[in-house]
Amino acid sequence: MCGASAIWFHRLGRLFLCALLAGALHFSPSVVVAVVAADETSYGFFEKELVKGKSEADQAACDRGLYSASLDHFIKAYLAGDKAGCKKHWAGVLKATGRVNSLHNLLRGLKSRIEFVDEEQLKIYEKRGDIIALLTEVYDDTLPVTGPHSALLASIAKYKANKYADVGDMKDALIWFKKACDLFESDWGKDNPTVISTLYEFAEMQINAHDIAGATATARTGLERAQKIHQPALQRDFGNLLRRLSRMQGGRTK
């Protein structure tokens, strides 16, 4: 195949893929033609729309769990120290939630709900260990429902890591964020774009924890994986991160 033919074959392939995506996203053919005409932005455009769609679906699913009777029962059981009740009712929350990619919105809503109970119950919540203890309970109760290799467990671990970081406990923050990365990878595979982007977040947390060597190793892994699956945006992000890390080390990182 000559060079010109190869280019047009490649562009037609992109057009076909974007047309399929447009059908799923309900875009008109004219939008597809306009976007693909830009060529280098076509994948990014539709990828953003797909991510947006997943995020909206996750929000709707998490709302089902958040406003379920099972969540009310879970909160009561948690504040009463009833572990069997917690396990039973959290399974009901997950059932009400249904298919979802991340529990982030549900966890955020749960935190708000439980922190607005009456004053006496709030004292019990704080005495038990506040949000960290609550997330530990949620993680433990999710495990028997999803199994040990679950992106839902990963989303809880990531949320917990960020809560540790919020209070300045970077040691535990890194432990739980690494656990989140490993769980995402075990469920979705190491070459999944979302898994790779999570490595970028992990590297940023390592920087905040002053672990520059660890951040550099994570960023290099992310760049290699982004190159493998031909993700220009991720390659650019990791490349910029590595250059920033190089400056932080006096130009030693390559």
Same domain, yes or no: 156 and 253: yes
What gap in Å lies between CA 33 and CA 36, rounded to an integer? Answer: 5
What gap in Å lies between CA 48 and CA 230, rounded to an integer? Answer: 16
Task: Name the domain boundary from 77, 111, 146.
Answer: 146
Tell me, yes or no, whether 40 lies in a domain.
no
7-37 per-position pLDDT tens digit = 344 444 444 444 444 444 444 444 333 433 4
The residue count of the chain comes to 254
- Which pLDDT score, from 0 to 100, does residue 41 have? 41
* Integer Rg of the chain from CA: 22
Residues 6+ apart with CB under 8 A from 192: 184, 185
Same domain, yes or no: 181 and 228: yes
- Which pLDDT score, from 0 to 100, does residue 45 have? 40
Count of domains for the chain: 2
Same domain, yes or no: 129 and 190: no
Tell me, yes or no, whether 112 lies in a domain.
yes
- Which pLDDT score, from 0 to 100, does residue 54 have? 54
Q: Give the CATH number for residue 253.
A: 1.25.40.10
- 227, 191 in Cβ contact below 8 A? no
What region, left, alpha or beta, does residue 119 occupy, with left being phi > 0 and alpha being psi -120 to 50 degrees?
alpha
Same domain, yes or no: 198 and 138: no
Q: Is this prediction's pTM over 0.85?
A: no
Same domain, yes or no: 169 and 135: no
What gap in Å lies between CA 134 and CA 114, rounded to an integer? Answer: 10
Domain assignment of residue 158, given as a range: 149-254
Tell me, yes or no, whether 115 lies in a domain.
yes
Same domain, yes or no: 200 and 236: yes
Same domain, yes or no: 153 and 253: yes
Same domain, yes or no: 172 and 116: no
Average confidence (pLDDT) over 130-138: 96
The pLDDT of residue 147 is above 70: yes
- Which pLDDT score, from 0 to 100, does residue 44 have? 46
